[in-house]
Amino acid sequence: MASCCRASLSKIARRTSLHSRQTISRRCMASTSAAPAATSSSTPPPPPSSPLNPKIDKLVDEISGLTLLQAADLVSLLKSRLNIQDIALPAASAAPAAAPVAEDDAPVEEKPKEKTIFNVKLEAFDAASKAKIIKEIKALIPNLNLMEAKKFVESLPRVMKENLPKEEAEKLKETFVALGATVTLE
């Protein structure tokens, strides 16, 4: 049994070493034959053509002969004819900005963005409701004592709250309007 295994292993070893020698010799032959060709011309030889449509092969050959500016013109012309829109590139890539495309359409009017963050400003109040408004201001602003709340109300116009979402700002405005104050949202 051991002699049978030894014979099999030696056959495999011979085949492997013969195969590796043939691979090395093929690589050496390929590199020596490719070296003179690479030094004789400045462009690499074209890859072997695959069995494609001859019309496509002709187009590929013509496009590969274009300069960089001609290729850019070709791309922009194809985009306009085929109505292909530019795709936003990821921010990590450092691609140069594309040339502006001539606009044939009328410029689209942009809607002003709807404001979502507001400052609530107390403008004025009824003299009869001064005490109620002072209490509400004291409850609204943390760490404010009664004297500071009174000074706050008496030194109008003042911003009560800043950077509030629209819903909260409207709710606060309704509360103070119900007490008899004039409130604006900025």
**pLDDT string in tens for the chain (186-residue length):** 555 555 555 555 555 554 445 545 555 454 445 444 444 455 666 665 555 688 888 888 888 898 988 988 988 888 888 888 777 655 555 555 555 555 555 555 666 677 888 899 989 988 889 999 999 989 988 888 999 999 998 988 888 888 889 899 999 999 999 988 999 988
Question: Whats the size of the chain, residue-wise?
Answer: 186
Q: Positive or negative, the Cα torsion across 41, 42, 44, 45?
A: negative
What is the C-alpha separation between 75 and 61, in angstroms, rounded? 16
Under a CB-based contact definition with an 8 Å cutoff, are residues 142 and 134 in contact? no
Question: Model pTM?
Answer: 0.40
- Which CATH number fits the domain 129-185, given the four candidates 2.60.40, 3.30.1390, 3.40.1350, 3.30.70? 3.30.1390
Q: Which residues contact 98 (CB under 8 A, 6 or more apart)?
A: 86
Order of strands across the sheet that contains 181-185: 158-165, 117-125, 181-185
